[in-house]
Chains A and B, each alone.
Chain A
């Protein structure tokens, strides 16, 4: 309780509220504009967090993360284009309501569901993370390696259509992470006598190339000029949600929150998966199945609750074990390291106050997201229509300046370009880029713990099956592999 109060007072400063709200605003804008994703927003603004403290930078990033979850639904509902990939499940029902002239109601439901999901997730984080952290402290290097291995296993399963393509992408990511100095012996690997490759590739540099610049390449043609006819109708109706409707939505929302939280905890999964799974389940359970796809309020509530319920839950493995659950969490891991907080099982023991401040902050982030959404959504409807031709050059300039600022090196700028081309070619050939990212992020920690365990055991592999925790993890990994492979076989037979 003592740490809790200290954390609260560390969080409760003017600057954390300020940065939180700036982050929320940016997240709403980037989420709402189709083609701009949350991860793009975070990558672009990451250089700004270098000068902030750990709490401020986390409030800023979490603001973007949470608001992006809701922002995507604005364009999904108003113009039938998901602002972010995970708003796709909201689209069918949301846009159907807009066509019926009830877009304000749809937006209200989406906002309230998002806030509910986010709050539930933040509270889960606050109550569970310290328990998980206590458990994590008991883990040694071998167990830690197995957790990473579990993360890598899940990646292969959830990435794209083809399992083999997923494995290749993941392996490419792992390979890139080995470039540079060997963490154990200090010898150089794959640097081809190029001094710039000495310390390997910085994560941010890779991310800018893979997720921001590659978008620019593929955006060469698409335009997002939309008719704004639906926007004028927003003002006319009241958007009031009746008590009866609340009652209808409460059970689906509660269910989706649980689904979202569970999916969020598993590394390698993400908001898109959560919203689709809970939308599907709620549809199967509902008494009004025929309404789904043509303006079901339960559908919107389910999808939106789930994709925001992921936000806090992804932080559980991140803050307690240093394992990022998705791309955004991977960037936050970087933000932790920049501030000198080494991610890992000891994070809670050493920096308990900061951790509590971040977790308490997340609750406030959701509160302010509701307030901003309530007051600003009608203006964001206009943001949706900013033309691509103006946005693209601005994004590129941001990318270049950001890439340069990491190490003050022009070499890094050229590296981002190379990564952009790789990501573009990969996406053309049906490879997902997310496994590359997770391979990159998990690569270093996996390798270090694997080799350290082998040194401890003098090269004997039995060290990975000695403690009950390790055996439990091995069983889980084996089960996941079986489930994934079985799922893929059934899928391919259909």
Chain B
């Protein structure tokens, strides 16, 4: 399986190389730096969320994460913060009480 991935990758690289040599139009992936930075920030938030669960417990971390997310989106309406914090609590309880999952 790994060798198949390798072979295909080589073919793909060769294909592009031929295109470059022949000066055919090649597909260029444009990355918007701002979008990527935002994606990385979200990823960091997600990582923090995953790493902090054992320390603060699921529900508290979820609420913190939800608030941080809204802060990241620069949401100004205060009731949005209330809604997500409450839903974090609700989801936690749903899993714990209804589905009998022992959340950390």
B104 to chain A, nearest CB (A): 7
A164 and B8 in contact (CB under 8 A), knowing A47-B99, A174-B1?
Answer: yes
CA distance A413 to B51 in the complex (A): 10
Q: How large is the interface on A (under 10, 10 to 19, 20 to 34, 35 or more residues)?
A: 35 or more
A164, A392, A424: the one contacting B69 at CB < 8 Å is A392
CA distance A211 to B5 in the complex (A): 22
B29 to chain A, nearest CB (A): 6
| Chain B interfacial residues counted at CB < 8 A | 48
| B73 located at the interface, meaning its Cβ lies under 8 Å from any Cβ of chain A in the complex | yes
B100 to chain A, nearest CB (A): 8
Would you call A408 and B53 a contact (CB within 8 A)?
A: no
Would you call B66 and A393 a contact (CB within 8 A)?
A: yes
Would you call B66 and A430 a contact (CB within 8 A)?
A: no
B12, B46, B70, B92: the one contacting A164 at CB < 8 Å is B12
Instruction: Considering the complex, give the chain A residue whose CB is closest to the CB of B101.
Output: A405
Interface residues of A in 366-396 (CB under 8 A from B): 387-390, 392-394, 396
| A414 located at the interface, meaning its Cβ lies under 8 Å from any Cβ of chain B in the complex | yes
A168 and B80 in contact (CB under 8 A), knowing A217-B43, A404-B103?
Answer: no
CA distance A168 to B11 in the complex (A): 11
Would you call B35 and A171 a contact (CB within 8 A)?
A: no
| B50 located at the interface, meaning its Cβ lies under 8 Å from any Cβ of chain A in the complex | yes
Give chain B residues whose Cβ lies under 8 Å from the Cβ of A400.
49-50, 53, 58, 62
CA distance A420 to B87 in the complex (A): 23
> A168, A417, A428, A430: which has the most chain B beta carbons within 10 Å?
A168
Interface residues of B in 1-56 (CB under 8 A from A): 1-2, 4-5, 8-9, 11-12, 15, 27, 29, 31, 34-35, 38-39, 41-43, 46-47, 49-50, 53-54
| A50 located at the interface, meaning its Cβ lies under 8 Å from any Cβ of chain B in the complex | yes
Instruction: Considering the complex, give the chain B residue whose CB is closest to the CB of A167.
Output: B8
Instruction: Considering the complex, give the chain A residue whose CB is closest to the CB of B2.
Output: A175
CA distance A283 to B4 in the complex (A): 41
Would you call B91 and A424 a contact (CB within 8 A)?
A: no
Give chain B residues whose Cβ lies under 8 Å from the Cβ of A387.
80
Would you call A390 and B84 a contact (CB within 8 A)?
A: yes
Give chain B residues whose Cβ lies under 8 Å from the Cβ of A393.
65-66, 69-70, 84, 88
Would you call A171 and B1 a contact (CB within 8 A)?
A: yes
Complex interface bits, A466-486 against B, C-beta within 8 A gives 1, otherwise 0 = 000000000000000000000
Would you call B62 and A220 a contact (CB within 8 A)?
A: no
Would you call B54 and A410 a contact (CB within 8 A)?
A: yes
A50, A165, A168, A410: the one contacting B50 at CB < 8 Å is A410
CA distance A390 to B69 in the complex (A): 9
Give chain A residues whose Cβ lies under 8 Å from the Cβ of B4.
167, 171
| A397 located at the interface, meaning its Cβ lies under 8 Å from any Cβ of chain B in the complex | yes
B11, B62, B80: the one contacting A397 at CB < 8 Å is B62
Give chain A residues whose Cβ lies under 8 Å from the Cβ of B46.
213, 216, 396, 417, 420
CA distance A47 to B53 in the complex (A): 20
Instruction: Considering the complex, give the chain B residue whose CB is closest to the CB of A402.
Output: B95
Instruction: Considering the complex, give the chain B residue whose CB is closest to the CB of A190.
Output: B2
User: Lowest 4 CB-CB distances: which A-B pairs, in order?
Assistant: A393-B66, A220-B38, A389-B73, A393-B69
Cβ contacts A to B, 18 pairs, < 8 Å: A50-B99, A164-B11, A168-B5, A171-B5, A178-B1, A221-B34, A389-B73, A389-B75, A393-B84, A394-B88, A401-B62, A401-B91, A404-B101, A404-B104, A405-B99, A408-B102, A417-B47, A428-B29
Chain B residues within 8 Å of A, Cβ to Cβ: 1-2, 4-5, 8-9, 11-12, 15, 27, 29, 31, 34-35, 38-39, 41-43, 46-47, 49-50, 53-54, 58, 62, 65-66, 69-70, 73, 75, 80, 83-84, 87-88, 91-92, 95, 98-104
